Copies of this chain bind each other. A is one copy, B any other.
Amino acid sequence: MPAPSAARRAKGWPPSHPEIELALVKLYRLTGDRRRLALASYFVDERGRQPHYFTEEARARGEDPADFWARNYAYNQSHIPVREQTRMVGHAVRGMYLASGMADLAFELRDESLKRACEALWRDVTTAQMYVTGGLGPEASNEGFTEPYDLPNETAYAETCASVALAFWAHRMLHLDLDGAYADVMELALYNGALSGLSREGTHYFYANPLESRGQHRRWAWHLCPCCTMNVSRLVASIAGYAISASDDGVAFHLYGGFETTAEIGGFTVALRERSDYPWLGDVEIAIEPETPIAFDLKLRIPGWAQGAMASVNGAPVALAVERRYATLHRRWTRGDIVILHLPMPPERLYAHPKVRMDVGRVALRRGPLIYCVEETDHPGAAVQSLTLPRTADLAAEWRADLVGDGAMTLIGEGRRLQPADAEDALYTTTRPRLQAHKVTAIPYHLWANRETGSMQVWICEAVE
Protein backbone atom coordinates (compact mmCIF):
# COMPACT_ATOMS: atom_id res chain seq x y z
CA MET A 1 0.00 0.00 0.00
CA PRO A 2 2.25 2.76 -1.17
CA ALA A 3 -0.37 5.50 -1.08
CA PRO A 4 -0.99 5.72 2.66
CA SER A 5 2.72 5.42 3.27
CA ALA A 6 3.49 8.40 1.12
CA ALA A 7 0.80 10.41 2.86
CA ARG A 8 2.12 9.36 6.24
CA ARG A 9 5.68 10.14 5.40
CA ALA A 10 4.68 13.57 4.27
CA LYS A 11 3.05 14.06 7.65
CA GLY A 12 5.85 12.63 9.75
CA TRP A 13 6.00 9.51 11.88
CA PRO A 14 4.33 9.32 15.26
CA PRO A 15 6.87 9.11 18.07
CA SER A 16 7.85 5.81 19.63
CA HIS A 17 7.60 7.48 23.03
CA PRO A 18 4.31 9.32 23.39
CA GLU A 19 4.78 12.59 25.21
CA ILE A 20 4.45 15.33 22.61
CA GLU A 21 0.72 14.63 22.39
CA LEU A 22 0.18 16.37 25.74
CA ALA A 23 2.34 19.27 24.72
CA LEU A 24 0.43 19.71 21.45
CA VAL A 25 -2.88 19.84 23.29
CA LYS A 26 -1.41 22.38 25.70
CA LEU A 27 -0.15 24.41 22.77
CA TYR A 28 -3.60 24.27 21.20
CA ARG A 29 -5.13 25.50 24.45
CA LEU A 30 -2.69 28.38 24.56
CA THR A 31 -2.89 29.35 20.91
CA GLY A 32 -6.25 28.08 19.78
CA ASP A 33 -4.51 26.69 16.73
CA ARG A 34 -6.39 23.50 15.90
CA ARG A 35 -3.57 22.14 13.78
CA ARG A 36 -1.83 21.27 17.06
CA LEU A 37 -4.83 19.26 18.12
CA ALA A 38 -5.01 17.60 14.72
CA LEU A 39 -1.38 16.53 14.91
CA ALA A 40 -1.82 15.09 18.40
CA SER A 41 -4.90 13.29 17.18
CA TYR A 42 -3.00 11.92 14.18
CA PHE A 43 -0.22 10.60 16.39
CA VAL A 44 -2.70 8.84 18.65
CA ASP A 45 -4.84 7.44 15.85
CA GLU A 46 -1.86 6.14 13.87
CA ARG A 47 -0.90 3.73 16.66
CA GLY A 48 -1.65 0.19 15.67
CA ARG A 49 -2.89 1.03 12.18
CA GLN A 50 -1.79 -1.35 9.44
CA PRO A 51 0.52 -1.21 7.62
CA HIS A 52 2.36 -0.34 10.82
CA TYR A 53 4.21 2.96 10.64
CA PHE A 54 7.19 1.56 12.57
CA THR A 55 7.49 -1.16 9.99
CA GLU A 56 7.37 1.37 7.19
CA GLU A 57 9.75 3.67 9.00
CA ALA A 58 12.25 0.86 9.49
CA ARG A 59 12.04 -0.08 5.83
CA ALA A 60 12.43 3.55 4.82
CA ARG A 61 15.68 3.56 6.79
CA GLY A 62 16.72 0.38 5.03
CA GLU A 63 16.38 -1.69 8.19
CA ASP A 64 14.64 -4.94 8.86
CA PRO A 65 11.56 -4.24 11.04
CA ALA A 66 12.18 -7.57 12.77
CA ASP A 67 15.35 -6.07 14.24
CA PHE A 68 13.30 -3.84 16.57
CA TRP A 69 14.79 -4.78 19.92
CA ALA A 70 11.53 -5.01 21.82
CA ARG A 71 10.28 -7.45 19.14
CA ASN A 72 6.71 -6.40 19.74
CA TYR A 73 4.85 -3.18 19.15
CA ALA A 74 3.02 -3.71 22.41
CA TYR A 75 6.17 -2.19 23.90
CA ASN A 76 5.02 1.23 22.71
CA GLN A 77 1.31 0.49 22.73
CA SER A 78 1.03 0.43 18.96
CA HIS A 79 0.21 -3.28 18.54
CA ILE A 80 -3.44 -2.50 17.88
CA PRO A 81 -5.37 0.75 17.42
CA VAL A 82 -5.78 2.60 20.70
CA ARG A 83 -9.54 2.33 20.68
CA GLU A 84 -9.24 -1.45 20.67
CA GLN A 85 -6.85 -1.54 23.60
CA THR A 86 -8.35 -2.80 26.84
CA ARG A 87 -5.19 -3.92 28.59
CA MET A 88 -2.27 -1.67 29.41
CA VAL A 89 0.89 -3.25 28.03
CA GLY A 90 4.50 -2.44 27.33
CA HIS A 91 6.63 0.40 28.58
CA ALA A 92 4.83 1.97 31.53
CA VAL A 93 5.80 5.60 30.99
CA ARG A 94 4.95 5.42 27.29
CA GLY A 95 1.61 3.90 28.25
CA MET A 96 0.80 6.61 30.75
CA TYR A 97 1.71 9.44 28.39
CA LEU A 98 -0.30 7.89 25.60
CA ALA A 99 -3.33 7.46 27.85
CA SER A 100 -2.93 11.05 29.06
CA GLY A 101 -2.88 12.25 25.48
CA MET A 102 -5.92 10.14 24.69
CA ALA A 103 -7.78 11.66 27.63
CA ASP A 104 -6.82 15.17 26.54
CA LEU A 105 -8.07 14.51 23.04
CA ALA A 106 -11.25 12.83 24.27
CA PHE A 107 -11.90 16.00 26.26
CA GLU A 108 -11.10 18.49 23.53
CA LEU A 109 -12.77 16.57 20.73
CA ARG A 110 -15.62 15.16 22.86
CA ASP A 111 -14.56 11.84 21.43
CA GLU A 112 -16.64 9.21 23.18
CA SER A 113 -14.85 6.20 21.72
CA LEU A 114 -11.52 7.57 22.87
CA LYS A 115 -12.99 8.24 26.30
CA ARG A 116 -14.26 4.67 26.49
CA ALA A 117 -10.81 3.37 25.56
CA CYS A 118 -9.34 5.49 28.35
CA GLU A 119 -11.87 4.09 30.79
CA ALA A 120 -11.13 0.50 29.80
CA LEU A 121 -7.40 1.02 30.20
CA TRP A 122 -7.95 2.81 33.50
CA ARG A 123 -9.99 -0.08 34.81
CA ASP A 124 -7.27 -2.51 33.79
CA VAL A 125 -4.43 -0.53 35.34
CA THR A 126 -6.16 0.23 38.63
CA THR A 127 -7.75 -3.16 39.18
CA ALA A 128 -4.95 -5.44 38.03
CA GLN A 129 -1.64 -3.75 37.34
CA MET A 130 -0.98 -1.03 39.92
CA TYR A 131 1.14 -1.31 43.02
CA VAL A 132 -0.48 -0.22 46.24
CA THR A 133 1.85 2.79 46.12
CA GLY A 134 0.57 3.90 42.72
CA GLY A 135 3.73 2.45 41.20
CA LEU A 136 3.42 1.01 37.69
CA GLY A 137 5.43 -1.48 35.68
CA PRO A 138 6.88 -4.43 37.61
CA GLU A 139 9.56 -5.37 35.11
CA ALA A 140 12.94 -3.75 34.50
CA SER A 141 13.69 -5.30 31.11
CA ASN A 142 10.87 -3.43 29.35
CA GLU A 143 10.48 -0.80 32.05
CA GLY A 144 6.91 -1.84 32.03
CA PHE A 145 3.97 -4.12 32.38
CA THR A 146 3.99 -7.91 32.32
CA GLU A 147 0.67 -9.51 33.10
CA PRO A 148 -2.27 -8.77 35.39
CA TYR A 149 -1.55 -9.18 39.11
CA ASP A 150 2.17 -9.70 38.53
CA LEU A 151 3.40 -7.26 41.16
CA PRO A 152 6.66 -8.47 42.70
CA ASN A 153 7.83 -6.22 45.49
CA GLU A 154 11.61 -6.43 45.73
CA THR A 155 12.18 -6.41 42.00
CA ALA A 156 9.47 -3.84 41.28
CA TYR A 157 10.64 -1.38 38.67
CA ALA A 158 7.82 1.11 39.24
CA GLU A 159 9.61 3.95 37.56
CA THR A 160 9.15 7.35 39.15
CA CYS A 161 8.08 8.77 35.78
CA ALA A 162 5.34 6.17 35.48
CA SER A 163 3.73 7.32 38.74
CA VAL A 164 4.19 10.95 37.76
CA ALA A 165 2.48 10.23 34.46
CA LEU A 166 -0.24 8.23 36.20
CA ALA A 167 -1.01 11.42 38.10
CA PHE A 168 -1.13 13.26 34.75
CA TRP A 169 -3.54 10.72 33.37
CA ALA A 170 -5.71 10.63 36.49
CA HIS A 171 -5.91 14.42 36.43
CA ARG A 172 -7.12 14.31 32.84
CA MET A 173 -9.64 11.55 33.56
CA LEU A 174 -10.95 13.71 36.38
CA HIS A 175 -11.66 16.45 33.88
CA LEU A 176 -13.50 14.04 31.65
CA ASP A 177 -15.60 12.91 34.60
CA LEU A 178 -15.62 14.40 38.07
CA ASP A 179 -15.22 11.07 39.79
CA GLY A 180 -13.19 10.93 42.97
CA ALA A 181 -11.94 7.46 42.00
CA TYR A 182 -9.62 9.27 39.58
CA ALA A 183 -8.62 11.80 42.21
CA ASP A 184 -7.90 9.00 44.68
CA VAL A 185 -5.43 7.40 42.30
CA MET A 186 -3.94 10.78 41.40
CA GLU A 187 -3.34 11.48 45.07
CA LEU A 188 -2.05 7.96 45.69
CA ALA A 189 0.52 8.30 42.92
CA LEU A 190 1.51 11.82 43.97
CA TYR A 191 2.11 11.08 47.63
CA ASN A 192 3.60 7.65 47.25
CA GLY A 193 4.93 6.17 44.02
CA ALA A 194 5.97 9.52 42.56
CA LEU A 195 7.13 11.34 45.67
CA SER A 196 9.31 8.42 46.75
CA GLY A 197 11.40 9.23 43.69
CA LEU A 198 12.67 12.31 45.45
CA SER A 199 14.82 12.43 48.57
CA ARG A 200 13.67 14.42 51.55
CA GLU A 201 16.23 17.07 50.66
CA GLY A 202 15.10 17.14 47.04
CA THR A 203 18.61 16.38 45.86
CA HIS A 204 18.58 12.65 45.13
CA TYR A 205 16.38 10.51 42.92
CA PHE A 206 14.99 7.03 42.60
CA TYR A 207 14.39 5.83 39.09
CA ALA A 208 12.89 2.55 40.31
CA ASN A 209 10.66 2.44 43.38
CA PRO A 210 10.58 -1.08 44.78
CA LEU A 211 8.22 -2.02 47.59
CA GLU A 212 10.81 -4.14 49.36
CA SER A 213 14.54 -3.85 49.76
CA ARG A 214 17.43 -5.60 51.37
CA GLY A 215 19.03 -2.20 51.74
CA GLN A 216 20.66 -2.16 48.31
CA HIS A 217 18.55 0.75 47.06
CA ARG A 218 19.72 4.32 47.50
CA ARG A 219 18.67 7.42 45.61
CA TRP A 220 21.15 8.77 43.10
CA ALA A 221 22.43 12.30 42.70
CA TRP A 222 21.59 12.08 39.02
CA HIS A 223 20.68 9.56 36.39
CA LEU A 224 22.12 8.91 32.97
CA CYS A 225 18.59 9.03 31.59
CA PRO A 226 17.43 12.01 33.60
CA CYS A 227 13.70 11.83 32.92
CA CYS A 228 12.59 10.97 36.46
CA THR A 229 14.84 13.53 38.10
CA MET A 230 13.24 16.48 36.33
CA ASN A 231 9.81 14.95 36.05
CA VAL A 232 9.33 14.52 39.78
CA SER A 233 10.92 17.89 40.55
CA ARG A 234 8.58 19.59 38.11
CA LEU A 235 5.63 17.73 39.54
CA VAL A 236 6.38 18.88 43.08
CA ALA A 237 6.83 22.44 41.86
CA SER A 238 3.53 22.36 39.98
CA ILE A 239 1.45 20.48 42.53
CA ALA A 240 -0.91 23.39 43.08
CA GLY A 241 -2.09 22.96 39.52
CA TYR A 242 -3.64 19.63 40.47
CA ALA A 243 -5.50 20.84 43.54
CA ILE A 244 -8.49 22.69 42.20
CA SER A 245 -10.61 22.88 39.06
CA ALA A 246 -13.05 25.63 38.29
CA SER A 247 -15.97 25.71 35.91
CA ASP A 248 -18.75 28.15 35.19
CA ASP A 249 -20.92 26.86 37.96
CA GLY A 250 -18.42 26.14 40.68
CA VAL A 251 -15.12 24.95 41.92
CA ALA A 252 -13.89 21.50 42.91
CA PHE A 253 -11.20 20.73 45.45
CA HIS A 254 -9.32 17.59 44.45
CA LEU A 255 -6.37 17.86 46.80
CA TYR A 256 -5.80 19.45 50.15
CA GLY A 257 -2.54 20.55 51.65
CA GLY A 258 -2.39 24.36 51.91
CA PHE A 259 -3.23 26.09 48.66
CA GLU A 260 -4.14 29.66 47.85
CA THR A 261 -5.57 30.49 44.48
CA THR A 262 -8.24 32.37 42.65
CA ALA A 263 -10.87 30.88 40.42
CA GLU A 264 -13.04 32.45 37.77
CA ILE A 265 -16.59 31.32 38.40
CA GLY A 266 -19.49 32.65 36.37
CA GLY A 267 -17.47 35.66 35.41
CA PHE A 268 -16.46 36.57 38.92
CA THR A 269 -13.18 36.13 40.68
CA VAL A 270 -13.24 34.06 43.83
CA ALA A 271 -10.23 33.88 46.09
CA LEU A 272 -9.81 30.51 47.75
CA ARG A 273 -7.54 29.77 50.67
CA GLU A 274 -7.25 26.24 51.91
CA ARG A 275 -5.32 25.59 55.10
CA SER A 276 -4.48 22.24 56.59
CA ASP A 277 -1.74 19.99 57.84
CA TYR A 278 -2.82 17.50 55.24
CA PRO A 279 -1.79 14.74 54.65
CA TRP A 280 -0.70 14.43 58.29
CA LEU A 281 -4.09 15.58 59.58
CA GLY A 282 -7.49 15.48 57.96
CA ASP A 283 -8.76 18.85 59.19
CA VAL A 284 -9.16 21.27 56.34
CA GLU A 285 -10.25 24.90 56.50
CA ILE A 286 -11.32 26.67 53.35
CA ALA A 287 -11.85 30.41 53.26
CA ILE A 288 -13.98 31.66 50.35
CA GLU A 289 -13.60 35.23 49.22
CA PRO A 290 -15.72 36.08 46.18
CA GLU A 291 -15.34 39.59 44.90
CA THR A 292 -19.08 39.85 45.28
CA PRO A 293 -21.55 37.40 46.85
CA ILE A 294 -22.24 34.69 44.30
CA ALA A 295 -23.98 31.34 44.24
CA PHE A 296 -21.94 28.35 43.09
CA ASP A 297 -21.13 24.74 43.80
CA LEU A 298 -18.26 24.12 46.13
CA LYS A 299 -17.30 20.54 45.46
CA LEU A 300 -15.13 18.93 48.11
CA ARG A 301 -13.43 15.67 47.38
CA ILE A 302 -14.22 13.06 50.02
CA PRO A 303 -11.50 10.48 49.39
CA GLY A 304 -12.45 6.85 49.12
CA TRP A 305 -10.45 6.13 52.26
CA ALA A 306 -12.30 8.77 54.31
CA GLN A 307 -15.19 7.15 56.13
CA GLY A 308 -17.40 9.46 58.19
CA ALA A 309 -16.27 12.78 56.77
CA MET A 310 -17.94 15.82 58.36
CA ALA A 311 -18.17 19.48 57.37
CA SER A 312 -19.44 22.79 58.62
CA VAL A 313 -20.02 26.17 57.02
CA ASN A 314 -19.35 29.13 59.27
CA GLY A 315 -19.51 26.84 62.27
CA ALA A 316 -22.83 25.20 61.38
CA PRO A 317 -22.65 21.51 60.55
CA VAL A 318 -23.82 20.60 57.09
CA ALA A 319 -24.98 17.25 55.81
CA LEU A 320 -22.64 15.87 53.18
CA ALA A 321 -24.28 14.34 50.15
CA VAL A 322 -21.39 12.53 48.56
CA GLU A 323 -21.65 11.58 44.91
CA ARG A 324 -18.76 9.87 43.20
CA ARG A 325 -16.53 10.90 46.11
CA TYR A 326 -17.37 14.61 45.92
CA ALA A 327 -19.65 16.48 48.30
CA THR A 328 -21.37 19.49 46.78
CA LEU A 329 -22.09 22.52 48.95
CA HIS A 330 -24.32 24.87 47.01
CA ARG A 331 -25.02 28.30 48.41
CA ARG A 332 -24.53 31.95 47.88
CA TRP A 333 -20.98 32.41 49.03
CA THR A 334 -19.95 35.63 50.72
CA ARG A 335 -16.60 37.04 51.63
CA GLY A 336 -15.51 35.58 54.95
CA ASP A 337 -17.30 32.24 54.56
CA ILE A 338 -15.36 29.46 56.18
CA VAL A 339 -15.83 25.78 55.39
CA ILE A 340 -14.36 23.23 57.72
CA LEU A 341 -13.93 19.69 56.47
CA HIS A 342 -12.92 16.82 58.67
CA LEU A 343 -11.60 13.70 56.99
CA PRO A 344 -11.04 10.91 59.52
CA MET A 345 -7.63 9.30 59.07
CA PRO A 346 -7.51 6.14 61.13
CA PRO A 347 -4.61 3.81 60.37
CA GLU A 348 -5.90 1.16 57.99
CA ARG A 349 -4.90 -2.28 56.85
CA LEU A 350 -4.94 -2.97 53.16
CA TYR A 351 -5.12 -6.36 51.52
CA ALA A 352 -4.27 -7.19 47.96
CA HIS A 353 -6.46 -9.20 45.64
CA PRO A 354 -5.73 -12.92 46.13
CA LYS A 355 -4.36 -13.06 42.60
CA VAL A 356 -1.42 -10.91 43.66
CA ARG A 357 0.56 -13.97 44.69
CA MET A 358 3.35 -11.99 46.34
CA ASP A 359 1.05 -10.41 48.89
CA VAL A 360 -0.87 -13.46 50.08
CA GLY A 361 -0.89 -13.44 53.88
CA ARG A 362 0.44 -9.89 53.91
CA VAL A 363 -0.89 -6.52 54.88
CA ALA A 364 -0.02 -2.98 53.86
CA LEU A 365 -0.68 0.03 56.05
CA ARG A 366 -2.36 3.24 55.01
CA ARG A 367 -3.36 6.40 56.75
CA GLY A 368 -5.14 9.02 54.74
CA PRO A 369 -3.51 9.11 51.32
CA LEU A 370 -0.20 7.75 52.57
CA ILE A 371 1.01 4.21 52.17
CA TYR A 372 3.43 3.12 54.87
CA CYS A 373 6.47 0.92 55.07
CA VAL A 374 8.80 -0.45 57.72
CA GLU A 375 12.49 0.32 57.68
CA GLU A 376 15.33 -1.46 59.40
CA THR A 377 16.61 1.65 61.14
CA ASP A 378 13.45 1.63 63.28
CA HIS A 379 13.82 -2.11 63.95
CA PRO A 380 17.53 -2.67 64.36
CA GLY A 381 19.04 -6.11 64.68
CA ALA A 382 17.51 -7.92 61.75
CA ALA A 383 15.90 -7.35 58.38
CA VAL A 384 12.35 -6.02 58.51
CA GLN A 385 11.19 -8.98 56.45
CA SER A 386 11.24 -11.00 59.68
CA LEU A 387 8.61 -8.74 61.25
CA THR A 388 4.98 -9.73 61.39
CA LEU A 389 1.93 -7.69 62.29
CA PRO A 390 -0.80 -9.89 63.75
CA ARG A 391 -4.14 -8.74 62.51
CA THR A 392 -5.33 -8.44 66.10
CA ALA A 393 -2.72 -5.75 66.78
CA ASP A 394 -4.01 -2.22 67.24
CA LEU A 395 -2.42 0.48 65.15
CA ALA A 396 -1.88 4.00 66.41
CA ALA A 397 -0.72 7.13 64.64
CA GLU A 398 2.15 8.85 66.41
CA TRP A 399 3.77 12.10 65.36
CA ARG A 400 7.56 11.89 65.43
CA ALA A 401 9.08 15.35 65.22
CA ASP A 402 12.58 13.89 65.05
CA LEU A 403 11.96 11.88 61.94
CA VAL A 404 13.51 12.71 58.56
CA GLY A 405 13.88 16.46 58.80
CA ASP A 406 10.46 17.99 59.39
CA GLY A 407 9.00 15.06 61.26
CA ALA A 408 6.44 12.56 60.11
CA MET A 409 3.36 10.73 61.23
CA THR A 410 4.29 7.16 62.06
CA LEU A 411 2.09 4.14 62.62
CA ILE A 412 2.82 2.06 65.67
CA GLY A 413 1.67 -1.48 66.33
CA GLU A 414 2.49 -4.39 68.59
CA GLY A 415 4.11 -6.68 66.12
CA ARG A 416 6.29 -9.74 66.34
CA ARG A 417 9.71 -10.60 65.17
CA LEU A 418 10.44 -14.11 64.00
CA GLN A 419 13.28 -15.72 65.87
CA PRO A 420 14.98 -18.97 64.97
CA ALA A 421 13.10 -21.90 66.45
CA ASP A 422 16.18 -23.56 67.82
CA ALA A 423 19.55 -22.54 69.15
CA GLU A 424 21.30 -24.24 66.25
CA ASP A 425 20.13 -21.65 63.76
CA ALA A 426 19.11 -24.44 61.38
CA LEU A 427 18.08 -23.39 57.89
CA TYR A 428 14.99 -25.64 57.95
CA THR A 429 13.32 -27.16 60.97
CA THR A 430 10.01 -28.73 61.88
CA THR A 431 9.53 -26.16 64.61
CA ARG A 432 7.89 -22.84 63.82
CA PRO A 433 10.01 -19.78 64.37
CA ARG A 434 9.37 -18.18 67.74
CA LEU A 435 7.36 -14.96 67.56
CA GLN A 436 8.85 -12.38 69.87
CA ALA A 437 6.89 -9.26 70.75
CA HIS A 438 8.35 -6.34 68.84
CA LYS A 439 7.04 -2.83 68.41
CA VAL A 440 6.52 -2.08 64.75
CA THR A 441 7.04 1.48 63.55
CA ALA A 442 5.91 2.26 60.03
CA ILE A 443 6.83 5.43 58.18
CA PRO A 444 5.32 6.94 55.04
CA TYR A 445 6.62 5.05 52.04
CA HIS A 446 7.74 8.20 50.25
CA LEU A 447 10.18 8.91 53.06
CA TRP A 448 12.03 5.62 52.88
CA ALA A 449 15.78 5.44 52.26
CA ASN A 450 16.36 8.87 53.71
CA ARG A 451 18.16 7.54 56.78
CA GLU A 452 20.58 4.71 57.47
CA THR A 453 20.85 2.03 54.84
CA GLY A 454 18.77 -1.01 55.63
CA SER A 455 15.94 -3.26 54.62
CA MET A 456 12.45 -1.97 53.82
CA GLN A 457 9.09 -3.57 53.27
CA VAL A 458 5.59 -2.38 52.39
CA TRP A 459 3.73 -5.70 52.55
CA ILE A 460 4.18 -7.11 56.04
CA CYS A 461 3.42 -10.69 57.00
CA GLU A 462 0.17 -10.77 58.94
CA ALA A 463 0.83 -13.76 61.14
CA VAL A 464 -1.19 -14.45 64.22
CA GLU A 465 0.50 -15.71 67.36
Contacts and interface: CB of A to CB of B under 8 A. Distances in A.
Interface string A400-434: 00000000000000000111110001111111110
Copies in the complex: 2
A127 interface: yes
Q: Could you tell me the dominant secondary structure of chain A's interface residues?
A: loop
Interface in A101-119: none
- Best-surrounded residue of A353, A417, A429 (most CB of chain B within 10 A): A353
A386 B354 contact: yes
Interface in A329-374: 348-357, 360-362, 364
Nearest to A359: B428
Interface string A69-107: 000000000000000000000000000000000000000
Contacts of A418: 354, 360
Interface string A451-464: 00000000001111
Contacts of A462: 361, 463
Interface residues of A, number: 46
B428 A351 contact: yes
A128 B420 CA distance: 13
B357 A386 contact: yes
A388 B361 contact: yes
Contact of A432 (B351, B382, B419, B461): B351
A361 B427 contact: no
Nearest to A346: B430
A327 interface: no
A383 interface: yes
A130 interface: yes
- Best-surrounded residue of A128, A360, A417, A421 (most CB of chain B within 10 A): A360
Contacts of A349: 430, 432
A385 interface: yes
Contacts of A383: 355, 357
A450 interface: no
Given A360-B418, A391-B432, A464-B464, A427 B353 contact: yes
Contacts of A428: 132, 350-353, 364
21 contacts: A127-B427, A132-B428, A155-B155, A214-B357, A349-B430, A349-B432, A350-B428, A350-B429, A350-B430, A351-B431, A351-B432, A353-B420, A353-B433, A354-B418, A354-B419, A354-B420, A355-B383, A361-B388, A361-B462, A462-B463, A464-B464
Interface of A: 126-128, 130, 132, 150, 155, 214, 348-357, 360-362, 364, 382-383, 385-386, 388, 391, 417-421, 425-433, 461-464
